[in-house]
Structure 1
Amino acid sequence: MARPAGRGGAAPGAPAGPLSREHRATTLPVLALICLVAFESIAVATAMPVAAADLGAVRSYGLAFSSFLTASLLGTVLAGGWADSRGPRAPMAAGAALFVVGQSVCALAPSFGVLLAGRVLAGLGGGLLVVSIYVVVGSAYPDEVRPRVFGWMSACWVLPGVAGPALAGWMAGAVGWRLVFGVVVPLAVLVAAVILPRVAAAAVAHAPAAGREPAGAGPSARGRAVRGLVVAVGAGALQAGAEGLGDGGVLPLVLTAAGAVAVLVALPALLPAGSLRLVRGLPSVVVVRGLFTAAFFGTETFVPLMLQSERGFSPAQAGLALTGGTIGWFSGTTAQARALDRVPRPLLLAAGGAVLAAAGALLAAVTLTGASGWWVLVAWLLAGCGMGLGMATTSVLTLRLAAPAERGLASSALQLSDNLGCVLGIAAAGGVFAALHTGAGRDQAVFGGLYAGLALVALAAGLVGTRARPPRPAVSCPEPVAGSSTVGGP
């Protein structure tokens, strides 16, 4: 005989759901904040060409995105130790303030240089916000509920992903590109005013001791900040150098090499110990996250360009592929949430990597064979499914494998890997494209090779995902019997 359902349809003793009376005051503002971040990301990508043209800086168009990403790298590093030592409320408040100020500066920018300064502020705030949200989720919800929360957070990208490009395009054309930046400012202020009081209790419960970093936190907060700055500057230099490799000269090579060295030197101390050696457990989870974003976003950057230059698609038609990726991402996230613990999480990571690799291979085949460009929509829908499986799973595993007092550092490392993977994937693809670009309508082989290479990165993500299992427990030696000696024993 089935048990009667409790209040809200939950069985007695089952954990309260995200929208239960216990959690809805936290869930709704968190989802609203994610919706704002999603709309800002998608809308800015749509409106930035208009802004760059209006400010006379089309040649420097890429800096508007790299400046945001490199600043967000620094924000994620700063937020980790800050959230662990003081709780998530303070970095969340600082992140919201920087995001609002940055968006306002962009909306009022009289020149492209000022707009770049606004993007840096907004990126720094975005990095602080994302890590703080992860810590709130880790503090406010039990382990069984977190997959659903992450699933809903991914769902918050669906409506902005479908409606955002059209709405932003209308605003930029009918009213002006400045509205695209400014419209989120009052909404962000409102959401922050609602959510910050709700995380106050979680902040007190989460912090191990005021003014003290948790045990095993690794480098000091100041040391993390310095290393984070080195990684951010190095990633920016690497991306700038890679984009200029096609122009020849020594400077792009120097920038690329110096940036790569800076990242490799400063990064290990900001990740869980053993990450670069792919140690089982949390270190491998963090590395997998970066491989996923490198493969997906490195490919996605060149999907609209290929469709427009090689297949004659209009910008609106090419944008449909990205919308398909958003829908596929939501589908994959929903699937992992429903799987819960019925399917081992490492298996979900392996499946996500395999699906993403298959999508990249299909995309390469479509490009190289000259098949209809509409097959790209199928490929990118499949790619989104793989990302939904993999990204949400890494989020769940990070909070599950990290000690409660170190979830801020773990979330910071995860987001650092996320952002860095995105930057490096785009930089590598951009460098190859810049070096081999021959002209519109003649880059079919270049695009196909890029997609195939990034599919191998996705395949590597799936393979490393099999190491996301908890580390084997240490074998403890029996206590020696009093009066005996273990020297020379078996």
Structure 2
Amino acid sequence: MTRDTEEAEQGIFGRRFRWVTVGMLTLILLSAFEALAVTTVMPTISAELDGATLYALAFSGPLAIGVVGMVVAGNWSDRAGPKRALYTSVACFGGGLVIAGLAYSMPVLVIGRLISGLGGGGMTVALFVLVARVFPTRLHPKVFAAFAAAWVVPSLVGPLIGGIVAQTVGWRWVFLGVVVLVVLAAAMVVPVMGQFPTVVTGQPWKVSRILWSLVAAAAVLAASLAGQVSGPLVWVVAVGAVVVAIVALRPLLPPGALRAAAGLPTIIVLRGLVAGAYFATETYLPYFFTSQYGLTPAVAGLALSVAGVSWAGASWAQGKYSERISDVASIRLGIGLVLLAVLAVLGCSVWGLPPAIAIVGWLFAGAGMGAMYPRLSVAMLRLSTPSNQGFNSSALSISDSTGAAIALALTAAIFVSLGFTGCFVLSAVLAMFALSLAGRAKS
């Protein structure tokens, strides 16, 4: 029995991997929790700091600047291993939380959010590279299934905990409390990082890519703010931002990605298309339920909760049975379930079907994401080499973020004239396009 086989049989929580696994999962969980909890407390923060004019920027800014963190961390990991990139990203993430927690004005809080967003984007990429360097290939599906679950669990409890913290000890502890846990989580990862001496591989700093990432970040930010513009200008801002973002993305993705070349380029593109289809629908679901059916916010949020549960369950299942189903089959299944769910929501919008159909449908959307998202990550690493794991990991994360942001920008423009139905049609088109490309994910 080889060492890799023996370690794979122990699992990701075996003696060798236990603490690094717990540390990585905790870092991801805290990043997701912070993003979701802030959604709950931001109205309180805005009222106290008189920050209504910067309210949208506090959300879109971290997403946009995270693209820069992804590119820098990916380049740094390919150049000198993941150690320094991860340490720096964690420091930025924690430092940004401290600034936001101690903010005395809304501009200062936004600065803190930008710094934490920069670190969060870099942290995700560095952790992907760490998985490739530490875990045997056979364990990658289980690691990414656990990553997916770590992202989903906060969606169930993050808003509630954030609200309780804000009402009891104050909103500042939504940020400051996470910092303490970030330090503890990072400490669990430190021992394994000693395996990676900082040796420059000869890979140069890709300054042009970093500059393009800044352009892409600005375009994503403009796209995210398109909904703030009134009148016909909303289309000018949205479409213009999308065009600039696509042009800027070209050097940040593998060659052939924008034309969906077979193998790795298609895997990267699929991540962005599915993210756009899923999140463009999910963002409007609570609004759709409350305005069209008169449901309470708690009941409207049920669809998101059931999707979170099914996402975690499907992630676990695909990790456990990953050797019994191919990457392409799992990806097709996942996209198909997301498309089915979007069509169920669209049917409710067009024909006024009972809201239970959309809620149950969105359960399948979560299952589809859980079946597919981890497999896209596994396939990406399998088609990467140690010299480009950082670049490809950052490309996958960039496609994810920008795909969702661009779709949301377009829905902001569509909603003005076509309402919910137009938004859900866009999501269905994106999902169908992704399904048509799924076969090209096979290398």
Q: TM-score, normalised by structure 1?
A: 0.85
Which residue in 1 is equivalent to 2:326? 344
Change (3 A) 1:180 1:16: same
Q: How far apart, CA to CA, are the structure 1 residues paired with 2:301 and 2:168?
A: 20
State the partner residue of 1:217.
Answer: none
Asked if 1:243 is matched to 2:237, the reply is: no
Query: Does the alignment pair 1:450 with 2:423?
Result: yes
CA RMSD, Structure 1 to Structure 2 (Å): 2.3
Q: Residue 258 of structure 1: CA displacement?
A: 4.4
Give the equivalent residue in structure 1 for 2:215: 230
CA distance in 1, matches of 2:15, 2:375: 26
Partner of 2:200: 210
* SS class of match (1:279): coil
Query: Which letter maps to 2:360?
Result: V
Q: Which amino acid aligns with 2:329?
A: L
Distance 1:55 1:14, change over 3 A: closer
Distance 1:131 1:143 in 2: 18
Would you say 1:296 and 2:273 are equivalent positions?
Answer: no
5+ residue gaps, structure 2, are none
What corresponds to 2:150 in structure 1? 156
Alignment-derived partner of residue 22 in structure 2: 28
Percent identity reads 35
Structure 1: any 5+ residue segments left out of the alignment? Answer: 215-219, 437-444, 471-490
Alignment of 1:334 onto 2:316:
yes
Within 5 A, what are the aligned runs for 1:106-185?
Answer: 106-185=100-179
Q: Deviations over 1:278-334 (max 9, x none)?
A: 111110000000011111111111111112222222222222221111111112212
2:441 aligned counterpart, secondary structure:
coil
The reply on whether 1:465 has 2:420 as its aligned counterpart is no
Assess if the C-alpha contact under 8 Å between 2:82 and 2:126 holds in 1: yes
2:72 to 78, 96, 112: 78
Cα 1:248–1:13 change in 2 (3 A) is closer
SS of the aligned residue for 1:455 comes to helix
CA drift of 1:100 comes to 0.9
Figure out how many residues of one structure are paired with residues of the other and give that number: 443
Partner of 2:293: 311
Change (3 A) 1:310 1:175: farther
2:45 is aligned with what amino acid?
A
Task: Using the TM superposition, give the Cα deviation of residue 385 of structure 1 relative to its aligned residue in structure 2, in angstroms.
Answer: 0.8
SS at match of 2:411: helix
Distance 2:334 2:263 in 1: 17
Q: CA deviation at 1:456?
A: 1.9
Give the direction of change, closer, same or farther, for the CA distance of 1:367–1:107 in structure 2 (3 Å limit). Answer: same
Instruction: Answer whether contact 2:74 2:393 (CA < 8 A) is retained.
Output: yes
**Paired position in structure 2 for 1:273:** 255
Structure-2 change in CA distance of 1:47 and 1:372 (3 Å): farther
1:358-379 alpha-carbon deviations (Å, 9 max, x no partner)? 0000011123333333333212
Matched, 1:368 2:350: yes
1:487 counterpart residue number: none
